[in-house]
Amino acid sequence: MLLSLIDSYFEDWSTQTKVPSDQLRLVFALLINFPLAYVFLYIRSIQFRYIISLALGIIMQYFVYREEIVHPLALTTITYFMTKYYKGEAATPVFIVSFIYLSGYHFHRMYVDYGGWTVDASFVLMIFLTKYTSFACCVDDGTKRVEDLSADQNARKIVEFPTVDQYFSYIFFFPTSICGPTYDYMEFYHFITRTGQHRLKYNPLFEAVTTLLFGILMFGAVAFIAPLYPFSFCITEEYANYGILRQILGFNLAGYCSRMKYYAGFYLAQASVDASGLSFNGYDAEGHAKYDKIVGVDIKLELADNPKFVLDNWNKQVQLWLKRYVYFRYVSEKDIKSNPRMAEQATLITFIASAFWHGFYPVYYIGFFNLFLLLQTSRYIYKASWKFRNIPEPLAYVIRFVLTFTMFNFFGAGFQLLEIGKALTFFKITWYIPTILVATYLFFIVTRWGQKKPAHVKRDDVIIKDETEEYHEEKLREKLAKLQQYYNQMDKKT
């Protein structure tokens, strides 16, 4: 009865604001989380913190997702006992079961609401999958020797297996139970038990309020600015009659407008994470508290001039999950430079995993394949950047910026249009820009143009500084290898 009354209010607000009622309900829950999270900061009892974290998380999830909460509850139970039973070898089965369950839900969503943007449990299942799998990997790492793990893996490994209530509290922590962000178990453990950096005193109110206000500003933009230029306009006859330059400007505007709703969600959720103290990351050299341990997105990406920075700072916690538990589980950090082919394969596998994680609309796979090509092409262009060293930096930055976001906003169209027919119409109208990307990638692979720096290029050139350092590191490794070979031969003689 009470929920029906509340829903009626949201329907009225939806009529007035033109924002779907389910999205309004989600935003309302994120706003309610904020004061609750700040109060949670001052709860001292560890056991009570576990209980409140779990109870409020389930309540908030039920408020937003209703009966669909059964899905995260069921999968959380399954993955807990799987990880406990397969301790030491749990990562692979947990990855498989979690992705199968999420995939089933994605197919269900496509069947009942193809091309729709209804708020449903897929939102939370996607975030929870990253927690299930990272937890399983860290439990497995807890059974390995210190020397077999990287420094990061040693810091995140789980040695003492948590109880059921501790695990559920980690998964359902209420500031993140609606739409993330994700994080690792040990980060949550230190936060709840006030160990590690959380032994220090801090007050995140100013940071949290600032983040909240920006999230509210973005939500206002979603209601009043984003509808002015949707991607749906980019498949109309009016748009098709524009000149190519006006079309490029048009889909770039649509791309920026489409990201506003994501920024609203990211920052409203981030505000509660900051208010709770979970994102606290110690103090800088000047004594200022940092709240950047758990960050959903960095708005600075909108000024980026290279694809990698954009990818690393969009949905940052998921990007870290892909890096730690997909990419570096395929290729180790020490093997990246020595085996570039394997590193390239790891990049492709990471993009495939990300595509599966997002769902099964064909446009996702077109988009992620093109993003893979974009990332690889940008690496080739970076290595050939010495060819363009005479271009003044302000102009070079503008060129890189325009190219980066033109490609990203172009690929983003498919993620917004969803239907393959609409996406292909858009690609056709805009002259299939990805073909240029593929051609560029093939050009570098075949010709290796600019990939080898000539000796006459200045060593202190800013554009190629990193490449020069890599070159000397490689030469040093070669000398060390020859020296080791010499010592081995001397040992045999003696």
Under the banding of pLDDT at 50, 70 and 90, the label for residue 15 is confident
The letter for the amino acid at 302 is E
Q: Cα-atom radius of gyration of the chain, to the nearest Å?
A: 25
What's the DSSP call for residue 289? Answer: B
Nearest-CA neighbor of 69 among 85, 79, 57?
A: 57
Distance linking the first and last C-alpha atoms of the chain: 90
Under the banding of pLDDT at 50, 70 and 90, the label for residue 455 is low
The residue ranking higher by pLDDT, 371 or 129, is: 129
pLDDT at 477: 60
Tens-digit pLDDT profile for residues 284-334: 999 999 999 999 999 999 999 999 999 999 999 999 999 999 999 998 877
Tens-digit pLDDT profile for residues 474-487: 555 665 565 556 44
Whether the per-residue pLDDT at 14 is higher than 90: the answer is no
Under the banding of pLDDT at 50, 70 and 90, the label for residue 74 is very high
Kindly state the average pLDDT of the residues 425-439: 83
189, 163 Cβ separation under 8 angstroms:
no
56, 174 Cβ separation under 8 angstroms:
yes
Burial class (CB in 10 A: 0-12, 13-18, 19+), 13: middle
pLDDT at 10: 85
pLDDT at 478: 62
Tens-digit pLDDT profile for residues 380-416: 888 888 888 888 988 999 999 999 999 999 988 999 9
Phi, psi dihedrals of residue 295, rounded to the nearest 5°: -135, 125
pLDDT at 481: 61
Distance CA 449, CA 156 (A): 42
Residue whose structure tokens are 């604001």: 17
Nearest-CA neighbor of 38 among 183, 189, 203?
A: 203
Tens-digit pLDDT profile for residues 118-135: 889 999 999 999 999 999
Whether the per-residue pLDDT at 39 is higher than 80: the answer is yes
Kindly state the average pLDDT of the residues 105-130: 92
